[in-house]
Amino acid sequence: MFKKMFFVVLFILTCSWVAAFPPYLNYQGMLTDSAGNPVTSFTVIIFTFWDAETGGNQLGSFSDSDNVTPNDQGMFSTLIGDVSIYPIPESIFDNETVYLNVNINGENLIPRKRLTSAAFAFTSGDLQCTGCVSTDEIAPDAISTDHLQDESVSADKLGTDLKVSFHAYQASGYNQELPDSAWTKVLFNTEFHDDGDVFDTATGTFTCPVSGVYHFNAYVQPALGNYETGYNVALYRNNSPIAVLSTHPYSNASAAVAGGGITIKLNAGQTVSIYVWHMAGIVANVISGYPNTWFTGHRVY
């Protein structure tokens, strides 16, 4: 009589209909006799699946007979279901509970060992297909940013069809101050639209969601008073200037609009913002309200 046998299911690969992954269980155990001595002789082990720990019904007609010769410590390893013409049927794991019956030289080990959730990974092979889970099968709001690890999903992973477009402006009454002889970021605190959630109205900053080519337009109207001064409007990438969109000449015009457009290539994560510079000798203000001061952009490709 065999005194004891313990086993560990090491790993389970995917189901039999996915040709790249063989459907078998790796089984390890140790055999000892009634005196606790290792069994090292040739041994026949038969594996079957059942729906109960004792008694119950056998699941299907699957049976795997393996011949093993344990090492000098009684340890052995074998595969269940590795005969290609007799694979483990995936239907076995349709049952809520599955127990593995181990018969050694005609003697069943009692109780049977229940297969844990790892064994049911057999059926995960069914997910190796296109369209297994459609958007219709996902409840609204079932997946939110709270369920995703930070930076685990980027726009680059969402494909090339991502729609990116925004149109923001500085709302009437905001009247942002513009210090003299300094580049100042213009804040566009209100949006007409923001497809892709790419523009931050709190900072006036666009953040590129996916690498590609983008086009931007911006116009700013500062209130400089009747000072003979000029001013510049520039586009910054990652807080550094890359292009002056417009240089308004020296004049005594107190409310001229200046700006322009540019097409540039961006990498995911880079930022774009608009800055204004003047030397009127005063602290000026932006003339807020649409269509006086606004910023728009979209992804070209």
Q: What is the CB neighbour count within 10 angstroms for residue 203?
A: 14
Coil, helix or strand for 16? coil
Coil, helix or strand for 158? helix
pLDDT score, position 173: 86
pLDDT score, position 15: 37
pLDDT score, position 184: 93
pLDDT score, position 48: 95
pLDDT score, position 255: 54
Q: What is the pLDDT along the chain (301 residues), one digit of tens a residue?
A: 554 444 433 333 333 333 444 567 888 888 888 888 899 999 999 999 999 999 999 998 999 999 999 999 888 988 898 887 788 888 888 888 999 999 998 899 888 988 875 555 555 555 555 556 666 667 766 666 666 676 666 655 555 568 899 999 999 888 898 888 889 999 999 999 999 999 999 999 999 999 999 999 999 888 766 555 678 899 999 999 999 887 766 555 445 677 899 999 999 999 999 999 887 677 778 888 788 899 999 999 8
Query: How many Cα atoms are found within 13 Å in the side-chain-facing hemisphere of 110?
Result: 6
Token pair in block for residue 155:
């726009």
Query: How many Cα atoms are found within 13 Å in the side-chain-facing hemisphere of 119?
Result: 25
pTM confidence score? 0.48
**Which residue segments constitute the domains of the chain, with CATH numbers given?**
2-127 (2.60.40), 163-299 (2.60.120.40)
Comparing CA positions, the residue from 193, 161, 190 lying closest to residue 174 is 190
Token pair in block for residue 228:
């003979």
Beta bridge partners, 67, equal: 44
Q: What is the CB neighbour count within 10 angstroms for residue 144?
A: 7
CA-CA-CA-CA torsion for 128, 130, 136, 139, nearest 10 degrees? 30
- Interatomic CA distance for residues 50 and 138, integer angstroms: 34
Give me the count of residues in the chain.
301
271-278 and 75-80 strand pairing: unpaired
Rounded to the nearest 5 percent, the helix, strand and coil shares of the chain are 10, 45, 50
pLDDT score, position 251: 54
